[in-house]
Amino acid sequence: MLTRLSLRVRVLLVFAGLAAAILAALAAALWVAGASLSGRGVPMPAMLDALALAALVAGLGALGAIAWIWFLFDRNMARPIELLAGGLRTGQTPEIEEARYLADLGPAARDAAGARARSAEALAEAIAEHATELQREKETLEAILADIGAGAVMTDAAGRVVFYNASAAHLLPGIALDRQIGRHLPAAALEAGAARLAAGASATDLTCLTAQGQRLRGRMRRVDDGMLLILHDRAPLRPAPRALIETLRRRAATLVPMLGALDGPMPPALAQAIRAEGQGLAQALRELAAATGADDASQGRAGLNELGAGLDQAPDQPRLALLADAAGVNGLLRHLDRRLRQQGLAPRLAAEAETSEARLLLSWAGAPLPMDRLETWLAEPPDPAQPELTGHEILAAHATAIWSEVQDGQARLVLPLPVVPDRADSAGLTYDFALARRGAGQARLADRTCVVFDTETTGLDPASDRIVQIAGLRIARGRLTGERFETLVNPGRPIPAGATAVHGITDAMVQDAPDMTAALTAFRHFAGEALLVAHNAPFDMGLLRHAAAETGVHFDNQVLDTILLSAMLWGQSAPHSLDALTGRLGITIEPEARHTAMGDARATADAYLRLIAALEAKGLAQFEDVLAEARRHRRLIEDANRPAAPGAQGGPPAGPAPGPAG
C-alpha cells in the first residue's frame, strides 16, 4: 500500500507520526508531573491551570517546529527528489538549482542523465546506420509496387491491416492501420479466398467490389498467419468480342447434349465423332479468345484444390494447374453445386486430365440436368454482390462452355479448361518487414493503437461553445504512423474576437468548411475504436459528447489525458500546461503551430510517447494500471472516461491544471 504513495506523501506521514509521538510523550510527562505535584499538597485548580498552560505552550511549539521543518524538508528535499525522478525517467537533464540542497545527488543525477543521453545518441547513430539500408530496401519495394500500379495490403490473423501502400490507399479510401480489412472489401470474397488457400493453394485469385462499388482484381497469398493482398482496378472477366464468342459458346454448349436427345440407338463411332467435334469447337473458341485478347481474365493459374474449395471432392484427384480465374470458376462451381443440392442431389467434383486440357466433372447419381435448367442457372450471378457477373459471363471470359451428359450411369456437368505446366508457385518478391506481432486483446499501453487529437473552439464551455478546428494523429505500436486528420469546422455562429486572438481562425476561414455533423462523422471514421489521447481531455471530450445530440456521432472510446500522465511522474503540484510539459520533455513547438489543432496534437503526441516510456519504467505498463493510477489524481482533473452529467460545465480545471486545450 505504502509503495503506491508518492515520496512527498510518505514524508508527510513520517512528520505526522513524529508529531503524534511528541504529543503523546508530552501528555505522559504532564501526567507524571501532575501526579507528583498532587502528592506535595499543591492545590488542584492551580496545578491544572499550570499544567494546561505548559501543555499549550509546549504542544503548539512542538507542532509549529515540526510543521516548519516538514515544510522546509518537503520544499527542499522531497519535491526536488520527485522532480529528479521524473526527469530521469523521461531522459531529461534535471536542473541543478532545483536540487541545490541535495548535496551530490543533483550533480550525480545530472551526470547520469548526461551519460544516458550520450549512450542513447550512440545507440541512435548505430540504429540509424542500420536503418539506412533498410530504408533503401523499403524505397526499392515501394518503387516496384508503384511501377506496377498495384495496391498492396497485409493483414494479421485477425484481419487487421498492418501494412498498405499509397496505391492501396487510393483503391480503398479510408484504409488505416489496425482497422479491419472487412470494412473495405466484402467478407464473402475474403472468406472464399481464405477457403481456397486453406484447401492447399499458396496463392489464389481475388475478384470483388469495394465498399465504394469499384471492382478490384488481384491475388491473395498467405503470409505467416495473415494475408497479403495485391490489388488492381483492371476490370476482370470482360469478354471481347462479346457477340462472336457468345455465338460460338452456345453452339459448343449445345452440341454434346444433343446426344442425349436423339431417338434410337446411335453408333458409338458417331457419338465419339460428335463429342470430339464439340471439344474441337471449344478449343477453337479459346484460340479465338486468345487472339482477340478476350481471355485476359483467365490468365490466372489455379490449382484443382482452389477451384474445388468448398465442394465435395472425389479422392485421389490428379495434381493439376489450370488456366483459370480461381475466384470466378470456384464461385460458378459452388453456385451449381448449391443449385443441385437444392434439387435433392449429392454432386461430387472430379477431374479428367489430358495433355493440354482437363475436364472438371460435377457428377451425381440420378437423372441428367435438362439444358434449359442449366441455362437458367448460368444466367444467375454466383456472387450476389456482383449481379452483372453471371455464369455465362464467367464462361465467356474463360472461352469455354459447360454441358450436361450421362457417362457410365452417372449424370454430370462437364467444364473443360486448359492445363498449364505445373511449377512451384513462388512469390515474385521477398521482403522482411520485421513486423512485431501482438494480440488484439493485449492491454500494454505501448501496444495500443491511439489517436491523439486536439480542438480549437469558440470558447471555454463545452456545453455551449462550438468546435472550429479538429485534428488527430494515429499512433500504433509506440510510433506515429503518418496517418493524420485535420479539418476546419463551420460552427454555425460567429467566432468571438477573443477566440480568434488565440487560435487565429476567422469566420471567413470556416465559411465553406464542413459543418459539425460532417466533420465529426469523418473524425469518428478516422478514430475508429482507437484509444483517444488529449491534453485536458475532459474539455475536448466534453465538446464531442455535447455535440452528439446534434450530430448523432457518439464517441465511446477509452480516453487518456496527458495532464494525468504528467502528474504521475512529477506530482500534482508541478505545472501541467502543454507548454510546461513539453518544456520539461525538451519538445519544441513552433510559434506558428501553437494554438492550432494540428500543432498542439503533434506536441501532445510527442509528449505522450515519452510519457508512456517513463511510466513503463515506473511499473505502469498495462493500460488498466495507468487508468487506476489516473483516478488517484481526480482532485487535479476529472476522469474523461466518465461522461459528464447533462448540463455539467466542463471547462478548464482549476489550480495547477492548464488553461483551455489548444
Which pLDDT belongs to residue 363? Answer: 93
At residue 601 the predicted structure's pLDDT band, cuts being 50, 70 and 90, is very high
> Among 96, 91, 95, 97, which residue's Cα sits nearest to residue 112?
91
Q: Which pLDDT score is estimated for 100? A: 63
Is there a common fold for 149-232 and 242-259+282-418? no
Among 404, 411, 405, CA closest to 365: 411
Output the pLDDT for position 435. 35
For residue 173, pLDDT over 90 is answered with no
3 state DSSP class of 641: coil
Name the range with the highest mean pLDDT among 25-29, 210-214, 495-499, 619-623.
495-499
More confident of the two residues 65 and 657: 65
Residue 280 has a pLDDT of 62
pLDDT per position as a tens digit, 205-224: 888 888 777 888 888 988 87
Please state, for a pLDDT cut of 70, what percent of the chain lies above it.
Answer: 71
Q: Is 269 helix (H, G, I), strand (E, B) or coil?
A: helix
Q: Are strands 531-534 and 357-364 parallel, antiparallel or unpaired?
A: unpaired
Share of the chain above pLDDT 90, in %: 23
Cα–Cα nearest to 458, from 422, 490, 436, 432: 490
For the domain spanning 242-259+282-418, the CATH number is: 3.30.565
Enter the pTM of the model: 0.53
Confidence of residue 264 (pLDDT cuts 50, 70, 90): low
pLDDT the model gives residue 432: 33
Q: Would strands 531-534 and 559-561 be described as parallel, antiparallel, or unpaired?
A: parallel
Rounded Cα–Cα distance for residues 167 and 314 (Å): 42
User: What local confidence, expressed as pLDDT, does residue 441 receive?
Assistant: 44
Q: pLDDT band at 134, cuts 50/70/90? A: confident
Average pLDDT estimate for 150-177: 85
Q: Which residues contact 472 (CB under 8 A, 6 or more apart)?
A: 451, 452, 453, 454, 484, 485, 486, 523, 526, 527, 601
- What is the CATH number assigned to the segment(s) 445-633? 3.30.420.10
Q: What is the pLDDT of residue 197?
A: 85
Measured between alpha carbons, how far is 118 from 633 in angstroms, rounded to an integer? 34
User: Taking 60 as the threshold, does the pLDDT of residue 258 lie above it?
Assistant: no
Q: Which residue has the higher pLDDT, 379 or 572?
A: 379
Which overall architecture, per CATH, does domain 149-232 show? Answer: 2-Layer Sandwich (3.30)
Which grid cell is 73? 524538508
- Across the range 124-153, mean pLDDT stands at 69
Q: What DSSP designation does 236 have?
A: P
pLDDT digit string (tens) for 377-425?
999 998 887 887 888 888 888 878 898 888 888 899 999 988 876 544 4
Domain boundaries in the chain? Answer: 2-90, 149-232, 242-259+282-418, 445-633
Rounded mean pLDDT, 191-216: 83
